[in-house]
Structure 1
Amino acid sequence: MSAQNAQRHQAEELALMLSDFGMQRMSARVMAAFLFTEKPSLTLGELAEELDASQGSVSGALKTLHQVGMLERVPVPGSRRDHHRLRRDAWERLYSRQNEVVRKMMAAAEEGIAATGEDSPARERLQEMYDFYNFMFDELPLLFDRWREKRGSQG
């Protein structure tokens, strides 16, 4: 098996594992493509061709990965197409308040708390969900600082 074929195989294995753990299949394949690419950025068309998938399904996956903060759009002089790349801080964003999905979950918990009665079991569960995320987000900056320090000392 050539090195390129081995790399593609490993990307598909990673995508399969991510989808087994709950990530939508095409989002997992797109994520794996960004992790394994040698290019600084990829376009929708390049991804669709690489993954042998429709541009519509790839577009939906790109939207999802942008929403959770894993990808960013980057300018490419002379190109009219949108170029995307894995954010340098992708893993921090995935586990931070910058993750759009988590922000929406916290907002939904707050609204649910406001809509439930004072002694409601639902309110208790929603409050615990909100309190958990709030606690984690208060603690995460310290871990991120340690991570950046470790990453900096390795580079």
Structure 2
Amino acid sequence: MDEKDAQLREAAEKLALTLSESGMQKTTARVMTALLFSRQEAMTAADLCEELRISSGAVSGAVKQLIPTGIIERVPAPGSRRDHYRFREHAWATLMGNQNALLSSMWDAASEGIKVAGKDSTPGRRLDEMQHFYGFMQREMAALIDKWLEQYDTDKG
């Protein structure tokens, strides 16, 4: 491993530690950051096992958690029967966009509570604020992501 690779690995491990301290499973964070900081376009599960010194089961579990979030994706590799994984383009925008499902669920929960409790009741007033907040966040998040994607694509230009 050359000096740059060692520095990248150290930076990846530092970010993985931060993510695990914030609630992400440690192995999932390490797999994610390995793909993020890798100089390779894509890595196999075996590559990840070797680099991170973890089992194939650990890699498999991490991949199963990361793919649905939109952060990483499985990609074909010509001439290979192994799965290859890479950090997805626009991963951060995809991840934040996926948060809209949570925002929508929170809005729906508030709406249901208001129907039962009534808007002018004590819980209804709290739920009304909740509904307004999550409705606002949902609208603004979508607009922010669109704006960021447009700006990023223009800057990359």
TM-score range, shorter chain: 0.7 to 0.9
In structure 1, the gaps of 5 or more residues are: none
- What is the rounded CA distance, in whole Å, between the counterparts of 2:25 and 2:45 in structure 1? 17
Match of 1:14 in 2: 15
- What is the rounded CA distance, in whole Å, between the counterparts of 1:139 and 1:126 in structure 2? 20
- What is the rounded CA distance, in whole Å, between the counterparts of 2:67 and 2:127 in structure 1? 27
Question: Normalising to structure 2: TM-score of the pair?
Answer: 0.77
Taking only aligned residues, the RMSD between alpha carbons, in angstroms, comes to: 2.9
From the superposition, tell whether residues 28 and 133 of structure 1 become closer, same or farther in structure 2 (CA, over 3 Å): farther
- What is the rounded CA distance, in whole Å, between the counterparts of 1:59 and 1:121 in structure 2? 47
Letter in 1 for 2:101: R
Aligned-pair distance for 1:26?
A: 0.9
Match of 2:54 in 1: 53
Residues 25-65 of structure 1 show CA distances to partners (whole Å, capped at 9, x for unaligned) of: 11111111011101111121211111101111111111111
- Which has more radius of gyration? 2
Aligned-pair distance for 1:106?
A: 4.6
Q: Does structure 1 conserve the Cα–Cα contact (< 8 Å) formed by 2:77 and 2:84?
A: yes
Residues 121-150 of structure 1 show CA distances to partners (whole Å, capped at 9, x for unaligned) of: 778767765654443232223212321232
In structure 2, the gaps of 5 or more residues are: none
Question: Normalising to structure 1: TM-score of the pair?
Answer: 0.78
> What secondary structure, in the 3-state scheme, does the structure 1 residue paired with 2:58 have?
helix
Task: Choose between structure 1 and 2: higher helix proportion.
Answer: 2
